[in-house]
Structure 1
Amino acid sequence: MRKLTTISMALIVAGGVMIAAPATAAPTISNGVACKKSGATISQSGFKYKCGTNPLSTNKKLTWLSIDCLTSANAYLKAAKDAAEITIKLAAQIPVIDLGITNEKADLVLTQAKLTETQAKLTETQAKLTAAKLDVEKKPLTAAVASWTAAVRAYTSKINAITLSIKKLESSRSTATSQPALLKADIANTKENARLICSNGF
């Protein structure tokens, strides 16, 4: 009877082993896997994940996101915001730059006219000085030549400065008009990299 009882117990234990439910395996954590508590963190296979909403998606479902994903996504969002602000500022600068170019070009025309007039006066005075015979005639003419020469140099210097200013303004305008497209391309690349890092399963 005792032997039979032992055998029966063994069968019951064996049966229990056979019908026991297998242990539930821990879910694999990766980008896109659902989670419940926002802000919760977990590490798996050397990578750290945080529970939250994907900054790149309009879906507000809580999922695990790698720290690299969150860093890249937030960097993209900040870059996009900064680029938008810069683009607005650049657009506002263009009319100001255009006005500056217009004014400088008008000043250039006037200064060039004054230079031409002054050069003519200098040439005329130099001719009179060359023709003068008496010292009493030469003295005022010599002073006049020096004065006209100084004026020519001043107008020439001003023309050079205006020309340089126009070139700088035109360069600024070129930057203001081309920079938005460059920023847009950079932002697109940043977004694509963030999307890749945040892909489900990573």
Structure 2
Amino acid sequence: MILPVVAYGSPVLRKVGEDITPAYPGLEKLIADMWDTLYNSNGVGLAAPQINKPIRLFIVDTDQIVKDFDDEDKAKYPNEKAIKQVFINAQMLEETGKMWPYNEGCLSIPKVREDIQRNSNIRIKYLDEQFREHEAEFHGITARVIQHEYDHIEGKLFIDYLSPLKKRLLKKKLDDISRGKISTEYRMIFNK
């Protein structure tokens, strides 16, 4: 089932998510619904707070980004491999490597894209959907998508990395989004 995406301005997007257990009600269906929602909105990642659940759960599928690489991207990220993964109760262990800009957007902040600086490498601990523990390293675009979604379960948004001036310039757009004065191809919940 396709779920509505929570828009900028909703308090759930600023909450630190709570850990969950295998007994979390309807978890398997929730994850399936998150995949449906992600693909319906043409996203590459979706965190539970974006569907109004303040829990430490997010999903990532970087296949579309990697498929769409042009020659310059392929040269820049020659070892980039797409992933499709569920992350439960994730904990960022390390962010290292060169800081680099990339133009990010967010399903909860539609039609706003900005260059955001992030580290190129991460090490993260998480549980998969069978609650098996993993510790893994990710690099490049994949690391960036994971960092973006991880921020959601920490109550952060990509616009938090912008300068005060840039935030002021975006204020009207952000206010319009929080009031529902925006049109999207996917369903949204607005905090009017």
TM-score, normalisation: structure 2: 0.22
User: Higher helix proportion, which one?
Assistant: 1
User: Higher strand proportion, which one?
Assistant: 2
Please identify the structure whose Cα radius of gyration is greater: 1
TM-score, normalisation: structure 1: 0.22
